[in-house]
Amino acid sequence: MPIPILLTVDAVVFGYTPQRDLHVLLIQRGHDPFAGHWALPGGFVLPNEHIEHAVRRELKEEAGIEPDYLEQLYTFGNPNRDPRGQVVSVAYYVLVKPSKFTLTAGTDATDAQWWPIADLPPLAFDHAEILQVAFNRLSAKVTYEPIGFELLDEKFPFSHLEHLYTTLLRHSIDRRNFRKKIMQFGILESLNEKSAPSGSGRPAALFRFNRARYFELKNSGFALDLSTPAVK
């Protein structure tokens, strides 16, 4: 008799703040396999359940997250990836503003926390691989789609957008060239406002995304060549 193939979903939820850099949402598993280990939120797809509905349900149940933006990433089907049998996972990546949510662990999760992408604990199953694929996808997207609407505050200094791109690209960029290219696309609106002073820093001019232009370019794409690190 053939062994049934089970279907799950997993979600790589990225959150970003300029003060804390890029973080990923992890849950602590309450049951075996891997009880007590940290993992990506996710679970089994219910009978007659749409896959995207399943990932949204799991995010709500396990962490209290209701995202506006999610995108299917990849299907992971190594037959040995789960000790319970042959389990195929459809992974999604999700972009959120952490300040919009209060994390609440539920169902089979005993805890839910934001973890810095540069300092992650050992992960259950093949979730480290899934997370790496998601980060690589997000890093690549900055060169052909605008990134930031789902991650930055409604109003922000230009330095926050620059820092986000530097974080995703994992190398420095030519700040003047980056600003010139971004402004040429028309996705930012300069506001007649400044940020509140912090420490010894001076208030900075604030911007916001031109929503219509941002999503126009997100649908049609653009070419943003930031492959060469800045010369120091």
Q: Which two tokens stand for residue 15?
A: 């959150």
pLDDT tens for each residue of the chain, 232 residues long: 567 899 999 999 999 988 778 999 999 999 999 999 999 999 999 999 999 999 999 999 999 999 988 999 999 999 999 999 999 999 999 999 998 999 999 888 999 999 999 899 999 999 999 999 999 999 999 889 998 999 999 999 999 999 999 999 888 889 999 999 999 999 999 999 988 766 556 788 999 999 999 999 999 988 887 655 444 4
Q: What is the pLDDT of residue 87?
A: 96
- Cβ 123 vs Cβ 39: under 8 Å: yes
Q: What is the pLDDT of residue 112?
A: 97
Please, what is the Cα angle at 193 between 196 and 213, to 5 degrees? 120
Q: Which two tokens stand for residue 20?
A: 């804390």
- Cβ 189 vs Cβ 209: under 8 Å: yes
Q: What is the pLDDT of residue 231?
A: 42
Rounded Cα gap, residues 97 and 160, in angstroms: 14
Q: What share of the chain is helix, strand, coil (3-state, %, to 5)?
A: 25, 30, 45
Q: Which two tokens stand for residue 198?
A: 């912090």
CB 37: neighbour CB atoms within 10 A?
17
Q: What is the pLDDT of residue 232?
A: 41
Q: Which domains does the chain have, with CATH numbers?
A: 6-141 (3.90.79.10), 156-220 (1.10.10.10)
Q: What is the pLDDT of residue 1?
A: 59
Q: How would DSSP label each residue in 34-102?
A: STT-EE-SEEEPPTT--HHHHHHHHHHHHH----SEEEEEEEE--TTS-TTS-EEEEEEEEEE-GGG--
Q: What is the pLDDT of residue 108?
A: 85
Q: What is the pLDDT of residue 159?
A: 92
Q: What is the pLDDT of residue 199?
A: 58
Q: Which two tokens stand for residue 4?
A: 């049934």
Q: Which two tokens stand for residue 144?
A: 């052909």
Q: Which residues contact 167 (CB under 8 A, 6 or more apart)?
A: 16, 21, 22
Q: Which two tokens stand for residue 60?
A: 């709500």
